[in-house]
Each structure stands twice: as structure tokens, then as C-alpha cells.
Copies of this chain bind each other. A is one copy, B any other.
Amino acid sequence: MVNEPASVTDTVEAVINLVGIFAFALSGALMAVRKRMDIVGMVVLASITALGGGIIRDVLLGDVPPAAFRNTWWLVLPLIATVLTFFLHPVVTRLHRSIQVFDAIGLGVFCASATAKAAQYGVSPLAAVLLGTITGVGGGILRDLLAGEIPSVLRRDTKLYAVPAVAGSIIVAVAHAAGQDGLWVQAFAALFICGFRLAALWRGWGAPAPRVSGPTI
């Protein structure tokens, strides 16, 4: 969460963050198109998907106003994603697979950096993992709720999404507990989450579900 990049690593982190925000914003804007919303709905869904998870994290940590309100680019990117999607949504839709890759990058970056931030705020490792995961998946949950759908991350037919988030967040939390706070830990965890998510997507890995019989209620 960097305002004025002071070094190469800071700049790299800031750029990757923006990639994640943009990917999440595209997925929000596309959902709005699918739901036949107007441009207001597109802006709202793009912004909430991109920024919602981080805002929840900052509110829970007491870091207000949330970082999203202090970074102009974070607020502008969802608007750009909306305009692009407004005019080019058939193209954007065809880029579905590319967006899933960006989304996986965003998931990795958000979970890893949020777990590190939470750990620095002194919460327990378990709570840090929880906050990291919430940050990664929270925006998508809000997007689905506003679109009138059961959040995809909760559904049986979804490929692993929260599980990579949790696994990668555990890496950061354990490293922090062991005194390792370097940015390379976050980078490794983010890559791990991203790779795990993409592998789940391409191999069709799902989470186990309880055996149930009878019709869906």
C-alpha cells in the first residue's frame, strides 16, 4: 500500500497492485453488463470488486479512511475499466481467460500484502490469515451480492479460489511469526497463490463438498 514509491521494489509492488485492481474492476464491469445494468451499475460493480476487499480489511484494522480513498489511481482505474468495458465488452468477454490470469495475480497480491499488513498490526497469525483471505475474496463477494447472485466463491461448482488464498496467506503469517517480513516473502506467497489458483482452474480442482441427497432447496 504505497503512496509515493521510493525505490524499485516499492514501484514494482505498486504496479502489481494496480494490475490486480484493474483485473478485479474488469470482472465487476463485465458482471454488470451480464446483468444488463447501466453505466452507473458498471462503475459501482467495478469499484466495489476492485476496492471492496481492501476497504473491509482497513475498516477491520482501524486504518481509516481506507487506503483506497487515499490513492487516486485506485479510484480512477475502475472508471477506466468501466469505459473500456462499456464500448468493448464483447472483446473483453473474449479475453475471459486473460482476465482470469489477471484476477489470479490480483488475488495473490491482495492476500499476501493484506496478511503482511494485518500481521504488522499485531493480530494473531490466525487472524492475519483470515484478514488476508477476506481482502482477496471480499470484493468478489460484494460484486456477486450486488448482482443478486450467491457469491461464486461459496458455490460447489467453483474451482479452488479461497483455498489458494488461505494457503498463501498462511505462508506470509508463518514467515512473519518466524521473523521474516521481507517483501520477497510476499512475492513468493503471491506467486504461490496465483499459480495454485491457475492450476486449479486448468485442472478443474474443486473443494470437497458434503454428500447430500434429494433436490436442491
- Chain A interface residue number, banded: 35 or more
The reply to whether A206 and B70 form a contact with Cβ atoms under 8 Å apart is no
Among A94-102, A108-116, A143-151, A189-197, the one that faces the other chain is: A143-151
Contacts of A55 in B (CB 8 A): 60
The reply to whether B212 and A36 form a contact with Cβ atoms under 8 Å apart is yes
The reply to whether B124 and A37 form a contact with Cβ atoms under 8 Å apart is no
The reply to whether B156 and A146 form a contact with Cβ atoms under 8 Å apart is no
Number of copies of this chain in the oligomer?
3
If A41-B154, A41-B155 touch, whether A85 touches B210 (CB-CB below 8 Å) is yes
Contacts of A33 in B (CB 8 A): 210, 212
CB distance from A193 to the nearest CB of B (A): 15
The reply to whether B64 and A60 form a contact with Cβ atoms under 8 Å apart is yes
A107 within 8 A of B: no
The reply to whether B217 and A154 form a contact with Cβ atoms under 8 Å apart is no
Which residues of A from 107 to 139 have beta carbons under 8 Å from B?
121, 123-124, 126-127, 130-131
Taking a contact as CB atoms closer than 8 A, the residue among B62, B145, B148, B208 that contacts A64 in the complex is: B62
Which residues of A from 77 to 96 have beta carbons under 8 Å from B?
85-87, 89
A185 within 8 A of B: no
The 3 closest A-B pairs by CB, nearest first: A41-B154, A62-B64, A69-B127
